[in-house]
A and B are shown apart, each in its own frame.
Chain A
């Protein structure tokens, strides 16, 4: 953090502009790595602030990157935040001393209206024509001085993606902030903010008149509109083709899905192995006792869990940022809007839901690309029903123990365990569709959100912006989610280890711990589902993460501390001998919906800024899991699946 010296003046600058104008790139250019990402108080909208010290002046600029807005009459929460900050109405947020209105030079006809609207707010303002290099290459012409005269505002050209492309803007900022009349005159007395320009009472006729004014100004400034790139228009003909478009999208999604699974798997294994090695070393280096157990079972386990998510998050976000930056994402949303709209979601929900098949956490973080709050919450609530990869170890164990490895169908094309696994994935999707439909019926009536989505020109993604974006995600995940996950892991370890069994006790140690007692209590609750006390006890440490259940079952069945594959191999005959088929199927169904993963709930808390949504999520998932497992158990019983197969 830069220490504020007394002679340095601070000036708050807000970057305002429509979406897709390269505003965030300009923000990155201005502030470099001196950024801080947080949320606005009480809402899910991201707040980005950075520091810029001008090379000439003695001014320290606090630059805020406001969410993109087409208008000061908001249609989304993002736009509402932008308006509230601009007019100084957001609690805990000082009004800006200066506004930089960032416009896309390649598309002034769309964006200049916002500059006129912002001018009415009355805060000193600079208009920055961004992406001016691209515009000039496409035949853009403009008499900048004439535009300054018409607008009565300083106008500069910027190229956010080039080093030094912000020089003209910084110079103008220095001029404006050092001018004595400039800044001090802008400070309105309290209660007399320029906020009272009632923009939403402006009639449609007046709005249309403003648009005509925009065209008049552009004519007066001898504006020659840059041409859209023909090649890019042809690309659109392919990307949005009724047949080729969806196929291309499917291929892309498949590649991303593959990458999240396979590319992330390698560093994930390194992390797992690294932590296992560290644990092994500790096991030798330290005397046995509660401290060693805490370090290995609680802290290392927890930190490993946190870090294991990171490769998936980074790989997924690499692709999402790439697609977003290039302009493809809105087109994908366009193609999918019809399908997703059928269950009350928007096309943009698709990528977060798809990535939830690998893990709900990156999926939930990816919902940030959904501008509408209701759509975003619905997507977040659906994400954990998608069958994440952490369920696979549980599925594999139970299917391996109970489902005979038989081939079925013509030419023995199908394999029974494979079919069961597939059915479990389908059950997850069907469940999600049903829940989405219920949510739509329950909440959609109040408001309709139109698509009205810009399909911006394609751009080459900018590496610098990509890396900045990835770094932001890493910080958010490690800093705010990671610490809570770690703490919860340690808590679960405590619950499973204390109190220690009395001397001479028989049976697994976990049975005497708090988790064991909880499990024994839970056994009553879960008895109608056919779960025995061993399963119920294993469910408690399984709260940490779903795959932990396998190891926990190993512990409960006194197989010692061996984790991973060896535990699974030993467990298989054990559970095959002590559970009925009905119990196994019931547990499988339970895992399709069960709210078992604390990390997911913590992420939802972080992303929605309240415990309300994690509570709703845990509640509805529990009910859904309980009812479907109950149904499965009793249907299986009535079909004769209640017998033990014998050891």
Chain B
């Protein structure tokens, strides 16, 4: 399929939109330490601080690789300031895990969950 050639990347100006004042206060209050989503316990809630822009997050997705894990996570609503909740960890090691963000629940593998940074707050992290 020639869909890969359908898009001509055009240089766009980076729009470094800072989080709103409200969001940054909320983040500062809670960000004692940042951990990745995969380290949270079942039932834990936390706020997203960042989506990693390196490592696993940059892995391109699938056969028509245009997107990356980080991009898709943001598109699905994993944006800084949003609250997440670990709904379910089935297997030891928590792979995959069910995560609520907004009013949706997503199944993520550990690899994807490692790209989502959250502040642990009072929710203690798993030892691993």
Contacts and interface: CB of A to CB of B under 8 A. Distances in A.
A83 B59 CA distance: 21
Contact of A240 (B6, B16, B69, B90): B90
Given A107-B103, A201-B12, A245-B90, A212 B79 contact: yes
Contacts of B102: 107, 109-110
B22 to A, nearest CB: 11
Contacts of A203: 12, 14-15
A450 B61 contact: yes
Nearest to A75: B61
A87 to B, nearest CB: 7
A205 B14 contact: yes
A202 interface: yes
A454 B105 contact: yes
Interface stretch (B29-37, B70-78, B118-126): B70-78
B91 A338 contact: yes
Given A208-B79, A209-B17, A337-B109, A42 B1 contact: yes
B62 interface: yes
B87 A76 contact: no
Contact of A208 (B17, B66, B103, B105): B17
Contacts of A453: 106-107
Contacts of A330: 107
A245 B3 CA distance: 40
B47 to A, nearest CB: 14
Contacts of A208: 17, 51, 74, 79-80
Interface in A297-336: 330, 333-335
B111 interface: yes
Interface of B: 1, 3, 6-12, 14-17, 20, 51, 53, 59-67, 69-77, 79-80, 87-88, 90-91, 95-96, 98, 102-109, 111-112
Contact of A373 (B10, B63, B66, B106): B63
B35 to A, nearest CB: 20
A80 B3 contact: yes
A198 B12 contact: yes
A84 B6 contact: yes
Contacts, number: 188
A76 B62 contact: yes
Given A240-B98, A334-B96, A452 B73 contact: yes
A242 B91 contact: yes
A373 B1 CA distance: 13
A79 B69 CA distance: 15
Scoring A109, A205, A338, A450 by chain B CB atoms within 10 A of each residue's CB, the highest score goes to A450
A326 to B, nearest CB: 15
B64 A334 contact: no
Interface in A420-456: 447-456
7 contacts: A42-B1, A205-B15, A207-B74, A208-B74, A212-B20, A450-B109, A452-B106
A116 to B, nearest CB: 11
A600 B66 CA distance: 34
A205 B17 CA distance: 6
Interface stretch (A66-74, A171-179, A580-588, A639-647): A66-74
Interface in A228-270: 228, 236-237, 240, 242, 245
Contacts of B79: 208, 211-212
Contacts of A242: 90-91
Contacts of A451: 96, 107-109, 112
Nearest to A233: B87
B107 A455 contact: yes
Contact of A109 (B64, B73, B95, B103): B103
B69 A450 contact: yes
Chain A's interface size range is 35 or more
Nearest to A117: B75
Contacts of A369: none
B58 to A, nearest CB: 10
B67 A196 contact: no
B6 A201 contact: no
A263 to B, nearest CB: 31
Given A73-B66, A76-B62, A228-B103, 16 more contacts: A73-B67, A74-B3, A107-B102, A200-B7, A200-B66, A201-B9, A204-B53, A205-B14, A206-B12, A208-B17, A209-B15, A334-B96, A447-B65, A450-B72, A451-B109, A455-B106
A292 interface: no
Contacts of A202: 12
B67 A74 contact: yes
Given A198-B7, A203-B15, A452-B106, A337 B96 contact: yes
A207 B65 CA distance: 18
A106 interface: yes
A344 B16 CA distance: 39
A75 B51 contact: no
Contacts of A211: 74, 77, 79
* 7 closest residue pairs by CB, A with B: A209-B17, A75-B61, A201-B9, A198-B10, A455-B105, A80-B64, A109-B102
A518 interface: no
Nearest to A339: B91
A448 B61 contact: yes
A70 B76 CA distance: 7
A10 interface: no
A565 interface: no
Nearest to A239: B88
A416 interface: no
Contacts of A447: 60-63, 65
Given A204-B70, A450-B111, A199 B105 contact: no
A81 to B, nearest CB: 8
Nearest to A70: B75
B64 to A, nearest CB: 4
A196 B7 CA distance: 7
B76 A450 contact: no
B29 to A, nearest CB: 19
Contacts of A71: 67, 71-72, 75
A450 B51 CA distance: 16
